[in-house]
Amino acid sequence: MTRLPLPQVLVGLALVLLCAHARAASPAILACDKPQVVGGYVLTCEIRFLENLAAEEILNVALYGDVDGVQTPSHLVVEAGRKAGRFQIMTRPVAAPQSVTIEVSSYEGIAMATTRRVLPAAVKRVTLNHSEVAGGIQAAGVVELTGPAPEHGIAVNIKSGDDAVALVPNRILIPANMETAAFNILSKPVAEDTMVVISATIGDEDTSMQKTPLLVTHKPKPDLVITNWAFFGANDEPLAQPLSGQKVNLCVNLANISFAKAPPSLLRLIVLGPGGRSFEQYEKAGSLKEGGKARVCLPLPPLEPDMNYTFNLYADAANMIVESDKSNNHLAFEYSYSEKTTENAVADDGI
């Protein structure tokens, strides 16, 4: 048997101890940002050590359970000098609750595991294009899910609180990987204003039910909206790029999208400019017939080159008209002096 000199033995022993120390760090905590996640969304997990690593650590990541279609990296590298590493798990839409076990292990066989639930999508909200509609007029609704629909889609039950006031489809299908679907509501003529609740649920579980009210009125009310805008000069010529110091008008289309005539109203403009400066202007608008629209122009202060502006327009600024929907009276847009053109300022039907 050959004996090594004492110095070589000491050096070899030191190397063994150093390697043992470098690999001594073992995973201490494995945690994910959510106890459960809706299928189709990302789950972020973290492995944490008790101390900073002396050397790079390569860990194995494995999934067990209902993992078809679930995506995650097979390895996680934690760099030297760090004490934690993160990785993401892309879940898939599911039709029923499922469990997934995440295991992270080192090459020494030290492993940590945690289990998370993957949930099917539920109804997040129901929204209507109008909160109020005259009896006999059609409205529209949208169902939004908490996550994408699974393979083959998902059926959502729609219900009206009173079929004699508003009719809705019994069921709509949200296609696979989609999160929303629209449906129509047919209101019926009523003797007096009547509130009805439109609800949506998946299956028979009331826990996923979401509701929204719809007021069906005896008589239609006007509904003003501001559509389209563009800059025009002193001679009513369209301006692709207002010049510094040039007289400019902001012109918009004011429309009445209801089946009731709208009386005269007031249009309000607030412009926020550079340095927090603001400008306010009012302009009268005449009456509008059912489905009618009018061009309304408001004079602007001179616009400064290379500056950004925020425009806020309000229909029925004096709040003198009883409308079926006040939520659509506001139009806001940003304007960058150096980038704006007539092409993206005017919609297809013009001003």
For the chain, give every domain's residue range. 26-119, 123-217, 224-336
Rounded CA separation 176/117 (Å): 20
Rounded CA separation 9/18 (Å): 14
3-state secondary structure of 148: coil
Six token digits for residue 263: 């009386």
Count other Cβ atoms within 10 Å, centred on residue 210.
17
- Segments of the chain scoring below 70 in pLDDT: 1-27, 109, 204-207, 337-351
3-state secondary structure of 305: coil
Angle at 322 between CA 321 and CA 326, to 5 degrees: 95
Express each pLDDT in 213-267 by its tens digit. Answer: 999 998 888 999 998 899 999 899 998 777 777 889 999 999 998 888 999 999 9
Q: Positive or negative CA dihedral for 4, 5, 7, 8?
A: negative
Residue among 143, 138, 123, 115 at smallest CA distance from 32 = 115
State the DSSP string of 16-80.
Answer: HHHHHHHTT--EEEEEES-SEEETTSEEEEEEEESS--SS-EEEEEEEEES-TT-B--SEEEE-T
Q: Are 325 and 223 in contact (CB under 8 A)?
A: yes
Kindly report the pTM of this predicted structure: 0.63
Second CATH level (architecture) for the domain 123-217: Sandwich (2.60)
pLDDT of residue 322: 84
pLDDT of residue 127: 95
Q: What CATH number should be reported for the domain whose range is 224-336?
A: 2.60.40.10
Residue among 115, 174, 168, 166 at smallest CA distance from 147 = 174
Q: Are 179 and 153 in contact (CB under 8 A)?
A: no
Dihedral angle at the C-alpha atoms of 28, 30, 31, 35, nearest 10 degrees? -130
Q: Are 49 and 55 in contact (CB under 8 A)?
A: no
Task: Write the CA distances from 229 to 234, 296, 311, 333, integer angstroms.
Answer: 16, 10, 11, 10
Rounded CA separation 143/158 (Å): 9
pLDDT of residue 337: 64
Q: Are 89 and 42 in contact (CB under 8 A)?
A: yes
Angle at 10 between CA 5 and CA 15, to 5 degrees: 130
- Equal fold, 26-119 vs 123-217: yes
Protein fold of 26-119? Immunoglobulin-like (2.60.40)
Cα atoms in the 13 Å half-sphere on the side-chain side of 192: 0
Q: Are 103 and 61 in contact (CB under 8 A)?
A: yes
pLDDT of residue 338: 59
Secondary element (H or E) of residue 12: helix 6-22
